[in-house]
Amino acid sequence: MARVCDICGKGPTTGNNVSHANNRTRRRWYPNLQPVRVLVDGKPKRIRACAQCIRSGKVVKAPRGAVASA
């Protein structure tokens, strides 16, 4: 499963762990992804959105009682 935000496409970034002795090993920083129920074409769908997209209002959450009618 990809660690990518479905809204903005934000993914992991890479860098180094740097020890006190200045030894460098590779590491990754992951985005703060949250599972969110959103409305897509009028139907609730579960996506993974980063916390920044949720806070900025880019995500319209589905109401709690919304059920997809067949």
Q: How far apart (Å, rounded) are the C-alpha atoms in residues 7 and 17?
A: 29
Strand residues in the chain grouped as ranges (E): 13-18, 24-29, 33-40, 43-50
- Name the more confident of 42 and 36: 36
pTM for the model stands at 0.79
Give the mean pLDDT of 56-67: 84
Residue type, position 7, single letter:
I
Q: Is pLDDT of 66 > 70?
A: no
pLDDT of residue 64: 84
Q: Give CA 40 to chain center in angstroms.
A: 17
Q: How far apart (Å, rounded) are the C-alpha atoms in residues 17 and 26?
A: 6
